[in-house]
Amino acid sequence: MAVGYSGLPELLPVAGIRLATAAAGIRYTGRDDLALIELAPGSTCAAVFTRNAFCAAPVQVAREHLGRAAPRYLLVNSGNANAGTGVRGLQDARRCCELLAAQAGCGPQAVLPFSTGVIGEHLPVERFQAAIPGLHAALDTDAWAAAARAIMTTDTVAKGVSRTLELDSGTVTVTGIAKGAGMIRPDMATMLAFVATDAALDQPVLSDCLARAVEGSFNRITVDGDTSTNDACVLAASGASGITPTGADADRFTALVGDLCRELAQLIVRDAEGATRFVTVDVAGGRDAQECLQVAYTVAHSPLVKTALFAGDPNWGRILAAVGRAGLEGLDVERVVIRLGDVCIVRDGGVAPDYREADGRRVMAGDEITIGIELGRGRAHERVWTCDLSHDYVTINAEYRT
């Protein structure tokens, strides 16, 4: 069960957006593994994708289609990543778009495909063909929760967030779902996220809003340091409310989308494979944001730090060593301060004189822990969210294909 997560909340319908799910048998039995999201005519859509050079066939096709037509449908499957599948993988992704387009009465380029699951296996297109007619017929405004479950792979919980925002000109709704638990270190994690609003936004504004949201959310999480071949995040605006946020309202809307994406991103870490602790690595005092992130990710990716977190062991030397090897040129260790929660563990180049092991153990016994690091060389400040590394993580990934 995800750390500190009580379950999927009520997900509000978004006017102009319909969804449906189906059990296509792509890899799983007895559960839905295919989801469809329909965008009303006139909707705008923005997306960001993985920076992995071996990006999956659906990523390549979705990028291509996004540049050529206004998307009407997002077709998402779980259980098979259609990555590392060469020319045939591209053909299969395009064929799935064609099958849906024929059913929906639109052009294939109006369909964006998304896949998540095992890498290196060919997509069973015939199962898409059998499922798509019923999938399209089942479209409904109130199927967000079903879609959140259908896109899961090793996730233990469905992940979704809804928000409404009162603007001067009326109320807008934003709802989002995400999946991801392992192979998580986004550069845009395996993660997919789909967010929709009934606000009316033109393409440049929507793209800027998404870029800002992703940078402060999905690009600030890591489970294991592995960037997936299939990462994607989509923001769609149906315009059905007729409300276009402007001025201060536009800033409030952008902030809301950022907060919603941050919550979805943190849910991925809370549900990380085998995780028992949710960890914030908070780095301040860097010369720039990149320095802070360099230190934060070095700590967050350290197997020694992550296993100590799992054990509840305040082995502060592992954190100190990670900060020291992060590669900051001219780091003055005398100015570095490291804290576990409210407990100072390192100061003036070594263990803090007033540090007590019992205090460290008290902090480490919690299921939510903050590692605070002050570099003492600037004013930049960044946060990264991660988790511990447990026996279960190894088991889940050792047995993933069996």
Which residues are catalytically annotated?
190
DSSP per residue, 115-166: EEEETT----HHHHHHHHHHHHHT-BTT-HHHHHHHT-SS-SS-EEEEEEEE
Q: Are 338 and 346 in contact (CB under 8 A)?
A: yes
Q: Give the total residue count for the chain.
A: 402
DSSP code of residue 353? T
User: Contact, 213 vs 261, CB < 8 A?
Assistant: yes
| Nearest-10 Cα torsion for 64, 65, 70, 72 | -150
CA distances from 234 to 191, 237, 304, 335, 350 (A): 12, 10, 35, 42, 46
CA distances 217 to 262, 291, 301, Å, are: 4, 18, 17
- Whole-angstrom Cα distance, residue 239 to residue 158? 27
Q: Are 384 and 300 in contact (CB under 8 A)?
A: yes
Cα separation, 88 vs 334, whole angstroms: 57
Q: Which of 178, 170, 168, 236 is nearest to 14 (CA)?
A: 236
Residue 45: both structure tokens together: 């859509």
Among 300, 337, 335, residue whose Cα is nearest residue 318: 300
Euclidean distance between CA atoms 315 and 302, whole angstroms: 13
Using CA atoms, how far apart are residues 322 and 337, in angstroms rounded to an integer?
A: 13
Which pair of tokens denotes residue 197? 């609003």
Q: Which helix (H) or strand (E) covers residue 288, if one does?
A: none
